[in-house]
Amino acid sequence: MINPITNIIKNWIEPSSHVIDFGCGDGSLLKELRDQNNILGYGIEIDPEGIAGCLKNNIPVIEKNIDEGIDEFSECNFDVAIMASSIQCLKEPNVSLKKILTLSNRCIVTIPNLGYWRCRIALMLGRMPVTPSLPSSWYGTKNIHLCTIKDFEDLCRDEDFIIEDSIHLNKNRKPSKFSLIFPNLLSSEGVYLLARR
């Protein structure tokens, strides 16, 4: 089954763009972008299984912990950077986003929304939430900086990032009328297209 977020990302990336995907996993998103949008893509991944998947998908990949810095990419001029479901795993997401937006013109970020109503109910019942966008139990998750849609938008405002576009998704990872009305409460995930001033 195709991830609906992939279609959103594909629509935001121009053909023949130079793309870097931070936390690229097995490179399947970059492979699809390469095959359908003719992009030139590179992956950054720390997980050995993800790196092996990238190599299998014929995606150039560098083994790198983003928290240890990405300064070696400062000379590169990427059109788009992608942080799909990985920003919340970083020690300093705001610092990383600033650096990413110095080496790329735009950045696509997806975040699970801790303000989603199902998450709120789980927390009220004394449990850490498990949802489609937060699929791991508390002891198996890599997430260290969970936030709400509002928190993330406040960060963008405070750091002077431009939100060029955003799409809020329901529990099925699809846009819906309800998630547009009260995104902080009714969307399980946010997808953002950011730019620098």
Q: What are the structure tokens assigned to 69, written together?
A: 């810095």
Percent of the chain past pLDDT 70, that is, above it, reads 99
Residues 26-46: tens digit of each pLDDT: 999 999 999 999 999 999 999
Query: Residue 143 belongs to what domain range?
Result: 4-196
- Give how many domains the chain has, as a whole number: 1
Question: In CATH, what number is assigned to the domain containing residue 117?
Answer: 3.40.50.150
Burial track 51-78 (b if 16+ CB lie within 10 A, e otherwise): bebbeebebebbebebeeebeebeeeeb
Distance CA 157, CA 192 (A): 13
Residue among 22, 1, 9 at smallest CA distance from 169: 9
The tokens for 15 are 């053909």
131-158 per-position pLDDT tens digit: 877 777 777 777 778 889 999 999 999 9
CA distance 31 to 192: 21
Q: CB under 8 Å to 86, separation ≥6 — which residues? A: 22, 23, 66
Per-residue model confidence (pLDDT) at position 2: 62
Q: What is the pTM of this model?
A: 0.91
Bridge partners of 22, per DSSP, are 44
Average pLDDT over residues 182-195: 94
